[in-house]
Structure 1
């Protein structure tokens, strides 16, 4: 074979030598870890652009990293809300709704009295007197009326907060036909003091926000997921501000309550506007994104005006209710646009109905009673449940209808993010638990944490956050094993499996396109791999289960791997050609030597000649077998065997042999099969010609080793005319010898003279 492949391994680098040409590359352990390509996707950025972007920025832009980052921010905000709620003043008196009345709950959590919403409660302290209706002290009550009355309500709450902090406060109210008095003193708050509504708002807002961020993180360039995420953000603002607003007992600082109420209404307006805008782009685009900016600013201004009391409550909630008919109209318009697209209709039917029903139910439960001047149909926490169903339906639609072109693999990302958030929540709860425990219980808790929780947490995080990188040697062996698989289907399957093992992508797709080099797409979300191992160009999306982006390092790694595969495939093809040539050579040798001798022996009458032909055929077979085993033979051994064989043949023909036994310079020379087979065949053929045609009495053989060649000269004293006629056309023996010599770079020279013939063989060493 002319092309030979040699593999060599090193800890830092891998080198592949093909026909003496080294191809080397290095692997970075950090770089290791069936639809068509969308030709409308943005073009890949150049490697220089990828290198210019800081690693931290690239990491943050990975889908899982985005979800984790924003999820952790939301979780920290939830913890901040809880901490702020625990800092609010507590006096041991809670006012809660009781059907169409109001119940007063004392420090021992017993019902002290049940009042009508309009009943008066008077609180007296060091800073004066605060009087309000019973419903004004409800946890979720927000003032309505003219701006002066609203400002006065918030000012009373600020004054009442200072009164509770400074000393005892007397609460006076009329119940069961008599006036009752209760002394209230400031006391610390605990987690158990927070109502169920607070926890439902916090958990529901966090869940909705994670779902919205999840879908946006996987399709950050699409406007429909952007609007979905913006609506989820509005819900988060509404839920968290509402949770802290409802966390107060009797009161909280008026300025804080005013801010929370404004944020609550701003979040509600933003959510409604973004929900409507979502269906401007899904399933088809109905408007230009330019109009989203003024619409968003208008929604924020509307919520701010309502929260600060600049708009009457009836006007604000009427505007909030107005988005429902607009949403219904957009759904009808989109339904007509996708008349001949059944999949889009299925998605629109699912998403449209749950959005319209969920949002409509929430607005009707909260806004309609406010608009009509009546109480809310449910508390803030329970009124939030319809939104959880809306976003839960969105999550289900990802798997059922491939919402926003997402597939079932998208669930892996959100499950991983939720697991990480659960670890954060568990850490926070553990810190709180250790904070409240004391004495021996604290010691036991520390032991349990050290021996059980921390190892278990580390194991979960390791399984969640990463995977073992492929070593350089293992990766190189995998690539080589792919290239040298004999079956094309196996090579294609193993190539795809190798890419999956290297990058662990969530999505693998193929295309008829044939890029010349790897390229990044969608700002690192996807990597295009050129055709290799017989497989078409491959697009990998969301590496390492969406935990990071593809980088320029990955591009270079894939480029080197594709180059390696090309070199390996060339070596495989060269090997296949060598195998084919070897088979042809064996067939030719069997036909020219063994078969010819055995066929000739069938027509001989003399038993001695038959035995000689069989003996020669067996010798040829031994030579062929030696070549198959790849053995190299010493030149002196070859010449000794030839001398013995030639002497016997010439003796039987009555011809004397002059072949000196002592040879110089050839004792340590070894020949491979091609050389020694040509040498043996050439001498045998020349001896045969001498016996058959020369009518000679003597044959001389001279062997000399020169600088880079072996020269063999055979001379006889026979009839030169007969020898010349045979050499120039009377037979095919010398022609075959000349052909074989030329194939290995040797020559044959035949000279006829009056006293005999001279044949000179030159074989390259």
Structure 2
């Protein structure tokens, strides 16, 4: 169902891609273009092809970075201004002397330990940076001299040489950055393939490429050593700046025109040109602090992106779809930009080392970037509202930990105190979190009880029209939609990017479509769909249970009516025409016995087989004696059988035996009746033999309704009846399946 004013759902998203594919292969009946058409119509195919190209490009970049030469030793700065050589636990003062010694024992270059720490992004004037790069090139060239040694302040000497780079020497930091680059590229491609004609998807793709380029250059910086020349380092750092510009501009351009155009494309083009000019200034090595300028521009881009996202979110506050989307977008952008600025950009601007390695900070940034991809592509948008809150809370806890830790560092003047920060956060956060979860659990339990009560009201409403009204009221109480309208659907489904929820009817017939949950304040999400599905199943089960109960009640009423008509009614009708008072008394006694049997059967309680047979023998012998007929029913082992027989089988056995004995009394003119009762396996066999006048077995008139009803009752329980009759009397044998001794209760499934 397509509601007026509601855009088509995401199934129609790749239309632009389909049109492009059609145009590309138009004009021809060749089956090869037809197959190509089918492939190009599928976004998954396009994404797979582009993903392979991206993977090959990243692999080529990894191989190129792996070729960077590596020094045979590394020098790094640690806390308290101390310096150490990689792989060595000894520490040296920053101003401790160190020298490169040739194979002839002469000193080739004398410096202090601080001079050997690689400065990846030097700051200062143009002449100062040129001097730093010249010193780096001098050391890199010196390392290629055969037999060169590094003499440490304690007199020890280490080999100082250049080792060729190999793929297996790439560090874990590089592979982390490589994974970030690959994920961001694929996320950008994914959004572009789903929404190829949308400005947001295109800018997001551009931002993904910028993040990927930045991550790759960060990975390259992980491989930089004293053997790396200044030219290589210069281009790696400036490409990293360019990636930050691309990413920042793409995010700013995205929110400048998505979902509402706030800034014209011409102004954005001018802004991009200004950024390009600043980057070119860095290439020209002007006599200014270009690193500070670059970092300031990146921070400005981050701030501008956050402001624009906030403005877009405010302007979209009355649209449930955009509001849910921007809740995730704005939180993701704010936290990612803020986190990256705190741990990386601001420390660099202040001349301090990064709080965490750049590869780690980029990994944290990627987490929110992927969340941003989900929101931009509007894929499963109806799940984003609650997810945005969860992501935001988790990130806020992380930001709080970092903020507390930085505050403790500034206050105490100590070193990194993350354990104290986590302890502080735990004291405040964990109890609050437990309180929130408990309240949420109580609300959920109350909601479940209300849903159960509402479902029972629908299922047990007296009339179908009342059930329909109550079902609509139940959905209205649960979801509070703006509108409810009829719809045809088989399963609960979310449509129009979460704006509407279609729910089938558990009562049969037309379903209902709900538009805009909570009176338009939010979209429908997957939890709503799950609740709707559970409600439909619950009400349907209750309706089926009620129908089964009604069928059982009707069947029981029909059985009682049949028993009253066939047994009591027929007997009393016959009694009206009796002239013999003694016979009338006998008929009344039999009618009362039939009434007692019917009433006992209504209790539906199982009885022991021995009790049933004993009662039946006592009643039958008394009836035959009163009718002046000699009765012979010997007591056998069946009178000691303790197995339980359910009420239905007991009732049929008693009713059938009474019917057979009544026929003998009324019609046979017999002087003797012999009854034999035995067990064969799990079946009861009962034979009634008389020495009366007999009857024609094949005559329907003589057979009468009594024997036909008797046979029908037995066959309904899987039993049987055999009739033999002649001038010397009649024999009627019945068989009735019983439960085994181990089973106790009979199996109801035997009844057809």
TM-score computed with the length of structure 2 as normaliser: 0.43
Q: Which has the higher contact order (CA 8 A, sep 6+)?
A: 1
TM-score computed with the length of structure 1 as normaliser: 0.42
